[in-house]
Structure 1
Amino acid sequence: MKKGILLSILCLGVSCSAPCPTTSNLLPMYGKQPKCAEQLAADQEFLDLSDKQYATRRIASAHYAQVGWGLFYDKQLDAAMKRFNQAWLLDSTNAEPYWGFANILGMKQQFRSSISLFRKYLTMNPTQAKAWAGLGTSYGQLFFQTKKAAFLESSIIATKQCVKLDPTYGEGYAQLAAGYAYYMQKDSAKKYLAIADKLNPVLVHPEARQMIRN
């Protein structure tokens, strides 16, 4: 008997479904993968429980995003991803999960994917300076990987928006100093180095500092 015919017979009267994707909760938005019946049932159980525990799903989503940030800063990236996914499942209009996803992917050196999520977050919350800095960092890392000047230019544009929104954010000026050092624009690099040093003299990487001074 052919394998395909045997499979058809075995599926008669029985629900034959694809295996459950085991890593989907470690991907942003569950990897946008179709879920198996077991996972859909677990999602519904989670949503029903949240509906009992919180006044609204928006409030529940904010709570799970906050838990996700705590895990992220504790460097528990997989656990953080799971909580951000739950926050997204509860309320996909909550901007915080997208920022969380972007940061986690950046930490995992998945810079191209992180950029799209930073941009998704920033369309929803364009005044968050640190998110602009994160976007600039991902573009900067792509520049180091590819040596394509367009990525460095995008990094500088994003980071300038960061310090425009928060002129006290020293890491942004340090990032600009390094960016202009690689851009071979020493005057701009020295300008941002001076501002960064005034805010915190240890922020600029020694290699970038040496490039600026040479």
Structure 2
Amino acid sequence: MKYIITIFIAFFSVASFAQQITYAQWKKDAETEINLIPEYGNLPKPKEMIAEDQKLIDLAIKTDGTSHKASEHLVSLGFDYLYRGDLKTAMKRFNQAWLLDNKNENAYWGFGAIYFSFNDYDEALKQFEKGLLINPNSSNILTDEATINTGYFVSKHDANYLDKAIELFNKSYKIDPLNQNTLFKLSVAYFYKSDCANAWKYYDECMKLGGKSISPGYAEALKKQCNR
């Protein structure tokens, strides 16, 4: 149990950062700021906001060439702000990405990442599922959804969540076998499964690519549980 708790903390610490707002304050602000709600809450917008949206669309397409490229650019900016802990600006960029291309699954990846950062995993999963409906082969979304299922396994002690996580991680791995985040977390999932052969397999693959995603302490725990 000690190793499970230790690795669980390391598992989620990879994407940790200092937030600039609490979830309670976020939800309060979202009552009056619709750009803090995914898809703007599908609520009516004031004329001023509609005019600003059109200016954004025109400028973004002029700059990036197409609405999809502009949308991807805004998703990238959104994640930049998210990693700095500026979740409000991040959500605004993800909403603008959705505005430019509501079929861009990565906008929903961004929405889910916001809720993930607040530990609202149920809402994060809802957003990830919307993204996967658009693109079932999104490696990034599959890995993040698998991450949440691994967390549910640890907190709820239900092996079904671990099986689901491994299924999702493997699907993501087949799509992008060079994603170190996926490789590390797939190794951890098999570690929880007590499948030492696969835990070492994906750990080694991750290390060959640099091992940047591997959390401190994981190698020691793996050696103790899966001596080779």
Determine if contact 1:51/1:57 at 8 Å carries over to the other structure. yes
If the length of structure 2 is used for normalisation, what is the TM-score? Answer: 0.70
Give the distance between the partners of 2:46 and 2:156, measured in 1 at CA.
40
Give the distance between the partners of 1:78 and 1:180, measured in 2 at CA.
36
Name the counterpart of 1:211: 225
Determine if contact 1:111/1:141 at 8 Å carries over to the other structure. no
Deviation at 1:58?
Answer: 4.9
Deviation at 1:107?
Answer: 1.8
Deviation at 1:202?
Answer: 5.9
Name the counterpart of 1:161: 171
Is structure 2 residue 50 aligned with structure 1 residue 40? no
Is structure 2 residue 199 aligned with structure 1 residue 189? yes
Deviation at 1:181?
Answer: 1.5
Within a 5 Å distance, the mapping from 1:91-110 to structure 2 comes to 91-110=101-120
> Where has structure 1 moved over 6 Å in runs of 4 or more?
none
Determine if contact 2:57/2:100 at 8 Å carries over to the other structure. no
Q: Secondary structure at the match of 1:213?
A: coil
Q: Secondary structure at the match of 1:96?
A: helix
Unaligned runs of 5+ in 1: 1-19
Which moves more between the two structures, 89-98 or 197-206?
A: 197-206
Determine if contact 2:180/2:211 at 8 Å carries over to the other structure. no
Give the distance between the partners of 1:196 and 1:102, measured in 2 at CA.
25
Name the counterpart of 1:15: none
Deviation at 1:81?
Answer: 0.3
Q: RMSD of the TM alignment (CA)?
A: 2.8
Which moves more between the two structures, 198-207 or 91-100?
A: 198-207
Give the distance between the partners of 1:48 and 1:66, measured in 2 at CA.
21
Give a deviation string over 1:165-198, Cα, whole Å, max 9, x none: 1222222222112111212223332332333333
Determine if contact 1:160/1:176 at 8 Å carries over to the other structure. yes
Ranked by relative contact order (alpha carbons within 8 Å, sequence separation 6 or more), the top structure is 2
Deviation at 1:157?
Answer: 1.0
Deviation at 1:117?
Answer: 1.8
If the length of structure 1 is used for normalisation, what is the TM-score? Answer: 0.74
Determine if contact 1:156/1:176 at 8 Å carries over to the other structure. yes
- The one-letter code sitting in structure 1 at the alignment partner of 2:146 is G
Give the distance between the partners of 1:161 and 1:122, measured in 2 at CA.
12
Determine if contact 1:139/1:152 at 8 Å carries over to the other structure. yes
Which moves more between the two structures, 165-174 or 124-133?
A: 124-133
Unaligned runs of 5+ in 2: 1-29
Give the distance between the partners of 1:49 and 1:203, measured in 2 at CA.
39
Determine if contact 2:180/2:209 at 8 Å carries over to the other structure. yes
Determine if contact 2:139/2:176 at 8 Å carries over to the other structure. yes
- The one-letter code sitting in structure 2 at the alignment partner of 1:86 is Q
Name the counterpart of 1:124: 134
Determine if contact 1:143/1:149 at 8 Å carries over to the other structure. yes
Within a 5 Å distance, the mapping from 1:170-185 to structure 2 comes to 170-185=180-195
Give the distance between the partners of 1:140 and 1:106, measured in 2 at CA.
13
The equivalent position to 1:151 in structure 2, one of 161, 169, 172, is: 161
Q: Give the total of aligned pairs.
A: 191
